[in-house]
Amino acid sequence: MVDKVPGLIITADDFGLHSRVNLAVEQAHRHGVLTAASLMVGAPAAADAIARARHLPQLRVGLHVVLADGNAIMPRADIPALLDKHGRFGSNMARDGVRFFFSPQVRRQLAREIRAQFDAFAKTGLTLDHVNTHKHFHLHPTVLGLILEIGRDYGMHAMRLPFEMGAPLWMKPWIAMMRVRLARAGIAHNDYVVGIARSGNMDKAALLAALNALPRGVVEIYCHPAVEGDCPLSEGMQFYRHADELQALLSSCVKTAIHATAVRVGGFSDVLRRPP
């Protein structure tokens, strides 16, 4: 059982994707309201992210499992069914989801890669605050099952439940299934998330609106901050307003609004405390 009190977690995803992301995470934590970050252990700037996190003891760092549109930890020769010729996961999640479900060979390779990512995180020496997945691929029952099984070996205790107020009706059975499976596995989770509908556009107005209408329970607000740059961080992020998200996290108005909520603020390990 987990002792849940009203709480707020503010997370930056894609930690390690680029040095611009890593610098934004550090700034938003040191000088703003960011409390947690989700690390892509196989991303190009992961080593820089890990080095920064080691100097930020109050930043709660979790594992951002990447199984779509990103880099793998395992070499392509070991998981050829999962990667393209460049050694990257593809972006056709619907097709890959069918393969994950129906192909034992693909599932075995998937399990190898998920374990490799947990192992890489463990080797950083950072405390595992939470686990989630790039593009919320843990909504897929096969992915969720493998993470629950493998994560147990690495001390996983909390996971993001990607359920946003106003979510489409078709998502509710998937979320209900996730709640049941997380409860059976003894994994703590947030009650609601904010950031799906406005992914890449969680600017100051969006953050203030979310804080003004927080539902009861534990809420995670997640975002994708980065310092300004000359080109998009990825093809799928061409219209993301990373710098505006960073400024929102640094905003004194946002900080004041958070204080006014009078809820516990921190990472998953702070807000979702297990009873003694």
| Per-residue pLDDT tens digits for 233-248 | 988 899 999 999 999 9
* Domains and their CATH numbers in the chain: 3-273 (3.20.20.370)
**Which 3 state secondary structure label does DSSP give 64?**
strand
- What average pLDDT score do residues 238-266 get? 96
Which uninterrupted H or E stretch holds 248?
A: helix 242-250
Q: How confident is the model at residue 3 (pLDDT cuts 50, 70, 90)?
A: very low
Helices (H), 55-134: 93-102, 104-124
d(CA 148, CA 155): 10
Nearest 5°: the CA angle 5, 56, 69 is 80
pLDDT for 92: 92
The DSSP result for 20-57, as a single string, is HHHHHHHHHHHHSS--EEEE-TTSTTHHHHHHHHHT-T
| Radius of gyration over every alpha carbon of the chain, rounded to an integer in angstroms | 18
Segment 27-38 shows an average pLDDT of 98
- Once rounded to an integer, what is the mean pLDDT over residues 58-69? 97
Give the mean pLDDT of 139-152: 97
Considering only residues 274 and 15, tell me which one the structure prediction assigns the higher pLDDT. 15
The pLDDT score that the predictor gives to residue 2 is 45
* Statement: residue 44 has pLDDT above 60: yes
Please determine, for residue 275, whether its predicted confidence score (pLDDT) is greater than 60. no
**pLDDT classification of 121: cutoffs 50, 70, 90:** very high
Whole-number pLDDT of residue 162: 97
**Greater confidence, 87 or 54?**
54
The mean pLDDT of 221-244, rounded to a whole number, is 93
Can you give the pLDDT at residue 85? 87
Q: pLDDT averaged over the chain?
A: 94
Higher-confidence position of 163 and 235: 163
69-116 per-position pLDDT tens digit: 999 999 999 999 999 988 899 989 999 999 999 999 999 999 999 999
Lowest average pLDDT, out of 72-81, 165-174, 195-204, goes to 165-174
What type of residue is 20?
Answer: R
Per-residue pLDDT band for 273 (boundaries 50, 70, 90) equals low
pLDDT at residue 5, as a whole number: 54
